């Protein structure tokens, strides 16, 4: 019973995190306009990064994600990638509806991998909140509890991303071409905005390290 309560706690904490707007959300909506299963495929890509990360953190390497210089590198790389995706999404609005998708829009698994690996806040969450939960599971209920914890957390991402892509796919049909362009323009702005935030925060940390008195 205690294990079920713990997994329920994991589900709630994971779901509140998944509901936060971010680049993965915006990308799931964008790719979902073309592929109703984009969310599931993105969740698979996300899992390719997340499951090994579970093991890395439990082995004690999560502390390295809290090092400012590591966060700066991840922030700059991730921010630049998101800005590029946002710009390409915006430029794709001028293309014909049947043209080939830009950037990673036709590769949802790869998008899930890159967006997860380049998101500094995803890594920081696992180095703090995730680390606390991950250590609690095997400490109290054994290694199988850790496996259940990992699957529960990932299942939340799977559900949410698939719901987003399915709703986006249905919405693109209902909204028509004009409505679809509005949705894509919003997602492009969101990706570009998140990218700028990542870069600015990384540059601020860089300034604090080398120039602050």
| Mean pLDDT value of segment 104-131 | 77
Q: What pLDDT was estimated at residue 98?
A: 43
Angstrom CA distances, 141 to 39, 53, 69, stand at 32, 20, 36
Identify whether 10 is part of a domain.
Answer: no
Identify whether 3 is part of a domain.
Answer: no
Q: How many structural domains is the chain composed of?
A: 1
Q: Domain span at residue 191?
A: 24-210
Whether 3 has a pLDDT exceeding 50, the answer reads yes
Q: What pLDDT was estimated at residue 11?
A: 82
pTM of the model: 0.70
Identify whether 2 is part of a domain.
Answer: no
The SS3 of residue 119 is coil
For residue 144, count other CB atoms closer than 10 A to its CB: 11
CA distance 68 to 64: 9
Q: Which two tokens stand for residue 151?
A: 């699957």
* Band of pLDDT at residue 92, cut at 50, 70 and 90: low
Identify whether 143 is part of a domain.
Answer: yes
Q: What pLDDT was estimated at residue 111?
A: 87
Identify whether 167 is part of a domain.
Answer: yes
Q: What pLDDT was estimated at residue 101?
A: 44
Identify whether 45 is part of a domain.
Answer: yes
Identify whether 172 is part of a domain.
Answer: yes
* Band of pLDDT at residue 141, cut at 50, 70 and 90: low
* Tens of pLDDT, residues 167-185: 888 876 555 566 667 767 7
Identify whether 16 is part of a domain.
Answer: no
CA distance 27 to 108: 9
| Mean pLDDT value of segment 138-146 | 66
């Amino acid at each position: 019973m205690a294990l079920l309560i713990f997994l329920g706690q994991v589900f709630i904490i994971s779901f509140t995190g998944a509901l936060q707007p971010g680049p993965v959300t915006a990308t799931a909506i964008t790719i979902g306009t073309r592929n109703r299963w984009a969310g599931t495929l993105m969740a698979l890509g996300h899992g390719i990064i997340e499951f090994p990360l579970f093991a890395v953190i439990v082995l004690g390497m999560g502390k390295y994600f809290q090092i400012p210089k590591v966060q700066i590198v991840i922030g700059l790389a991730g921010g630049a990638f998101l800005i590029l995706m946002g710009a390409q999404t915006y430029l794709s609005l001028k293309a014909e509806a049947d043209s080939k998708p830009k950037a990673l829009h036709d590769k949802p698994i790869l998008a899930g991998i890159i967006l997860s690996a380049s998101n500094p806040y995803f890594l920081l969450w696992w180095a703090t909140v995730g680390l606390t939960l991950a250590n609690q599971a095997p400490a109290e209920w054994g290694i199988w509890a850790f496996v259940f914890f990992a699957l529960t957390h990932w299942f939340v991402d799977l559900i949410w991303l698939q719901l987003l892509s399915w709703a986006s796919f249905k919405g693109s049909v209902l909204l028509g071409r004009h409505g679809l362009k509005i949705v894509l323009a919003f997602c492009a702005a969101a990706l570009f905005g998140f990218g700028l935030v990542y870069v600015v925060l990384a540059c601020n940390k860089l300034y604090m390290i080398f120039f602050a008195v």
